[in-house]
Amino acid sequence: MKPLKPFSTKPYFLLMFIAVVFLTSCEKKDKPHTHLSDRSLIPVPAQVHKMDGTFEISKNTILYTDGNKELDKVAQQFINDFKGLGNLELKTASLAEGIDNGIVFKLSQQIDTEEGYKLKVTNHQIQLEAKNPEGIFRGAQTILQLLPAKQTEGWLVPAVEIEDFPQYAYRGAMLDVARHFFSVNDVKRYIDLMAAYKFNVLHLHLTDDQGWRIEIKSWPKLTEIGGSTEVGGEKGGFYTQEEYQDIVKYAAEKYITIIPEIDMPGHTNAALASYPELNCNGKATELYTGTEVGFSSFCTDKEITYKFIDDVIKELVALTPGPYIHIGGDESHSTELEDYIPFVNRVQDIVYKYGKTPIGWDEIRHAKLKNTSVVQFWANKENALAAVQQGAKVLMSPASKAYVDMKYDSITPLGLSWAGIINVKTAYNWDPATLVDGIGKPEIVGIEAPLWTETLSKIEDVEYMAYPRLLGYAEIGWSQDSLRYWDSYKKRLSMQYQYLKQKNINFYESKLIPWYKATVDSTAHKH
Ligand code: TNX
């Protein structure tokens, strides 16, 4: 055997090679990682490319932004949301050339879709880009869904590339705070949950027979008297203008527009009980705490009625930055059609006079609509079609699919059933663009899921009816129809179990969904 040359490097190379292989394989073993299949995205994004790798958010992770003030606020919200989950407070820094680690939120003109975003997760970076901070906010919700609901072996985000944008510009939910009153904090909680699933509109049904819930300074008895009760005769409540503005601001931070509704000429008993002059006979009505509809009407041929409406809308417009004012118009069974038509025409003009666009329930199509006005389809297809023929746009809220106050099944303890039973599948499995012959995507502004509260007196009741169905409406509004399948949705919804629990939502555990109840810990893999 030939002796080794004293300074031969060969054996060292071999040793080093073995050491490197050993160490990297160890590192692989110890570094926890996760898979995209462990996560569930609702609404499903337009394009998802699975990649290899995992990004881990730790206490050392830095969130970089490119110095835009509004973007910084969105970053701060992400930090707060993450802190709520993980008790870790991420640090921020401004983005500089060459940064290729950490989390990056960046505005980019290369993305041209409203609310759209591009997200890229690799082993060492999460990069989120959008045209504006709103798109970043939507994308940040996706990042939160890419995290486990509870800490696993770390805050692991699977590597992925996502390009996403919404199918409809208007993705709403409605809360009836008139039948039962809900506090500012309840409404904020509703907003939080909506934001997580990319809704962008909250319609507040502020007035009805049973209550007037928004302070109008020039007509103070509306809330003093009209806001004093609710269904069942309990104490009602109302939002002061400051409280309403607080809601508007809170929603705006989550890129949710508040649309206030003053329902008229019917559904007006609370106002009629507050001011005798709004009644044709000059006498105030009694406050009403039952659940019948269709018995009240403003006196449509008194001038004071229009002075009243002008004052109300003027004050409301001053508090409402969003483009729409909802004027109701439904179930005016105590108003003759010949009175209803000129009434709606005048109210429509008042809204335009103050620079806003009116929305009304589908009955308003009887009036002469401007082609920028929006009709909210809820029950009558002919009404919706007639509105489209006038050139108006349609907001889709078909009661038999999208009314979240309908029962899930015949034994649901809460809710109503006049429009049918809406289980989680029925709520999900419909397409707004094919529901009414003659009304397609170009005529539709979007969808909205109304929640009427005749039978719901607590926020837990509201949540029980809204969740999980609201997740389905979120997906109908946001995701491409070609990507929506019940089987896929069902699986993704089942995986939201821990997320809904983690947020303490009192949701209905539908038997149609094979809820994935295991702690999310078991979804992190070591290889
Ligand atoms: C119909 S939908 C109504 C509401 C009720 C609801 C109950 C609509 C425009 N009007 O006044 O609260 O049914 O489901």
Q: Which residues of 342-356 are buried (b: 16+ CB within 10 A; e: fewer)?
A: ebbeebbebbeeeeb
Give, using CA atoms, the residue closest to atom 4 of ligand 1. 452
450-496 pLDDT per residue, tens: 999 999 999 999 999 999 999 999 999 999 999 999 999 999 999 99
Say if residue 27's pLDDT is above 60: no
Strand ranges inside 363-506, DSSP E: 374-377, 393-396, 444-451
Omega cis (within 30) before 43: yes
109 and 174 in a common domain: no
Task: Encode 5-18: b = buried (16+ Cβ within 10 Å), e = exposed.
Answer: eeeeeeeeeeeeee
145 and 243 share one domain: no
Range of the domain at 144: 32-166
Q: Does 364 share its domain with 222?
A: yes
Which of these three, 437, 454, 478, is where a domain ends? 478
Where are the alpha helices (H) located in 116-268, listed in sequence order? 133-146, 184-196, 221-224, 241-253
Identify the residue whose tokens are 């109701």: 328
Distance in Å, CA 200 to ligand 1 centroid: 22
Is the domain of 119 the same as that of 230?
A: no
Same domain, 349 and 427: yes
Ligand 1 atom at minimum distance from 450 CA = 2
**Residue 207 and residue 230 in one domain:** yes
In this prediction, what percent of the chain has a pLDDT beyond 90? 87
Q: Do 154 and 68 reside in the same domain of the chain?
A: yes
Is 235 buried (19+), middle (13-18) or exposed (0-12) by CB count in 10 A? exposed
Q: Report the distance separating Cα 237 and Cα 180, nearest Å.
A: 9
> For a pLDDT cut of 70, what percent of the chain falls above it?
93
The verdict on residue 502 lying in a domain is: no
Residues 112 and 177 in one domain: no
Classify residue 301 by burial, with Cβ atoms within 10 Å: 0-12, 13-18, 19+. exposed
Task: Give φ, ψ of 496 to 5 degrees.
Answer: -85, -5
Last residue of a domain, one of 166, 186, 209: 166
Counting ligand 1 atoms within 8 A of each CB, the residue from 174, 210, 230, 293 with the most, and so the one to mutate, is 293
Q: How far apart, in whole angstroms, are the C-alpha atoms of residue 522 and residue 527?
A: 13
386 CB less than 6 Å from ligand 1?
no
Question: pTM for the complete prediction?
Answer: 0.93
- The rounded radius of gyration (Å) of the Cα atoms in the chain is 27
Distance 452 CA to ligand 1 centre (A): 7
Pocket test for ligand 1, best of 174, 261, 330, 375 (most atoms within 8 A of CB): 330
Instruction: Please give the pLDDT value at position 519.
Output: 57
- Across 158-197, b (16+ Cβ under 10 Å) vs e yields bbbebbbbbbbebbbbbbbbbbbbbebebbebbbbbbbbb
Residues known to be catalytic = 331
- Atom 5 (ligand 1) nearest CA: 452
Instruction: Give, for 71, the enclosing helix (H) or strand (E).
Output: helix 69-86
Q: Which atom of ligand 1 is nearest to the CA of 176?
A: 12
- Is 62 a residue whose pLDDT tops 70? yes
Q: Is residue 20 part of a domain?
A: no
CA pair distance 322, 195, nearest whole angstrom? 17
Asked whether residue 366 carries a pLDDT value surpassing 80, the answer given is yes
Q: What is the CATH number of the domain that holds 41?
A: 3.30.379.10
Query: How far from chain centre, in Å, is Cα 156?
Result: 26
Confidence at 13, pLDDT banded by 50, 70, 90: low
The reply to whether 122 and 158 lie within a common domain is yes
What mean pLDDT value characterizes the chain?
Answer: 93
Number of domains, the chain: 2
In ligand 1, which atom is closest to the CA atom of 453? 12
Please indicate whether residue 452, judged by its CB atom, sits closer than 6 Å to ligand 1. yes
Q: Which of these, 397, 399, 348, lies nearest to 377 by C-alpha position? A: 397
Q: Quick one: pLDDT at residue 522? A: 42
Answer yes or no: is 102 within a domain. Answer: yes
Tell me, yes or no, whether 232 and 249 share the same domain: yes
Q: What is the pLDDT of residue 152?
A: 78
Q: Is residue 515 part of a domain?
A: no
pLDDT tens for each residue of 279-291: 999 999 999 999 9
Check whether residue 152 and residue 193 sit in a common domain.
Answer: no
375 beta partners:
360, 394
* 330 touches ligand 1 (CB under 6 Å): yes
Same domain, yes or no, for 336 and 461?
A: yes
Taking alpha carbons only, the member of 131, 108, 111, 127 closest to residue 119 is 127
369 domain-assigned: yes
On whether the CB atoms of residues 92 and 63 are closer than 8 A, the answer is: yes
Three-state DSSP class for 56? strand
Q: What's the gap in Å between 228 CA and the centre of ligand 1?
A: 21
Summarised one tens digit per residue, pLDDT across range 127-141 is 999 999 999 999 999
Whether residue 401 lies inside any domain: the answer is yes
Q: Is the CB of 331 under 6 A from ligand 1?
A: yes
